[in-house]
A = this chain, B = another copy of it.
Amino acid sequence: MYDELIVSPRVLLGPGPSEANARVLKAMTTPMLGYLDTEFVQVMGDTVGLLRRVFGTENRLTLPVSGTGTAGMEAALANVVEPGDAVIVGVKGYFGERIADIAARCGGIVTKVETEWGTHIPAEKIAEVVAKVSTPKLVALVHGETSTGVLQPLKDAIEIAHQNGALFLADCVTSLGGQPVDMDALDIDIAYSCTQKCLAGPPGLSPISFSDRAVDVIRNRKTPIQSFYLDMTLLENYWHGEKEKRRYHHTVSISLIYALREALRVVLEEGLDVRYKRHVHNARALLAGAKAIGLQPAAEEGYRAPMLTTLRIPDGIDDATIRTRLIADYGIEIGAGLGVFAGKAWRIGLMGESSNEKNVMLVLSALEKLLIESGHRVERGSAVHAASHVYAV
């Protein structure tokens, strides 16, 4: 009734999943181990050690939550926010809204700092709102906003949060492994990410890390954490308990942890700085090519996330037609606009393995051809020509 699974090859240039590294896929065929097997405990330790390096932290409470990025978001909020706590959330796109939604479900009293989609949130605006809120518990910002392609500066906001006695949370779902997070250097209290974007693994885990300051807040809660599955005090016992104190909490995703360990090895073999520069370089080439064929960036200059380029869909061009043809003729997936950008912008991800010159040239060539066919006036070869200039430097 159901045949063997056979899928068409795809060039994944959407907002994630990106193309998983072949070594990572192979790691998932490693036979199962029990969740308390000493060999698996070693794998867990390795994975946490590697994660700390990518997060730029020595935080003890660092581990992959057994769920996708949104599970990490929920774990971050459910552990520190108690009913009645004041939470300040920067909203400049879809995922800022999601943080606000989840913080409210945790009983938080949410105040939003909003700016237009495609822009960053200025530090002064955050300072202004924080000053008006009495005893803010948490200030939360999305680092790389996946819906708009904006990379939010964090430094000043972190200082504002701490000066006002609040914890600082950074959503690094899109940024981790593609741009520096530097958790300890910046003094971020809570950061979480995913595995299927710049880390080039399969989706299903959410790396998360809490500073000692955040751990203190969790230990001093007055109410129980509303989620058992995401209760960090219980997860800490399982991931970081010494010998007999290492206690079963739930059966973690063994195969995905094998995959994450391998993905992180690949990341660190390349080197973080090299990897960050690669993301910037390919994004620059993509944008140069895109502009040459009349596709304007939807994100504010100076605040563009190199792993996700948003481009305004030109007047007269049908969003769905282009995306359908990209898949049908080239197997290329790019992201549709989300929320305010639905039908108005495309999201081209160059994340992890997917961030390479081959993909840049391919997607530009394909877009140029399809735009010309759609009646968009462009000089032939201009996208590749412009991108080549970037690569020639």
Contacts and interface: CB of A to CB of B under 8 A. Distances in A.
Interface of A: 1-2, 4-5, 7-10, 12, 14, 16-20, 25-35, 37, 39-40, 43, 46, 49-50, 66-71, 73-74, 98, 101-102, 104-106, 194, 196, 202-204, 224-229, 248-256, 258-259, 261-262, 265, 268, 327, 333, 338
Nearest to A9: B31
Contacts of A102: 228
B228 A39 contact: no
Given A203-B251, A252-B203, A227 B105 contact: yes
A326 to B, nearest CB: 11
Given A14-B34, A17-B34, A226-B226, A203 B254 contact: yes
Contact of A7 (B30, B106, B228): B30
Nearest to A101: B228
Contacts of A256: 202, 204, 253, 255-256
Contacts of A50: 2
A69 B227 contact: no
A66 B19 CA distance: 20
A19 B98 CA distance: 38
Contact of A253 (B12, B37, B68, B228): B68
Given A17-B251, A73-B229, 4 more contacts: A66-B68, A67-B229, A203-B252, A256-B256
A64 to B, nearest CB: 11
A268 to B, nearest CB: 8
Number of this chain's copies in the complex = 2
A34 B333 contact: yes
A227 B338 CA distance: 22
A76 to B, nearest CB: 12
B226 A106 contact: yes
A252 B179 CA distance: 24
Contacts of A9: 31
B5 A262 contact: yes
A344 B169 CA distance: 45
A255 B31 contact: no
B29 A5 contact: no
A248 B228 CA distance: 25
A32 B202 contact: yes
A250 B29 contact: no
B5 A32 contact: no
A12 B34 CA distance: 7
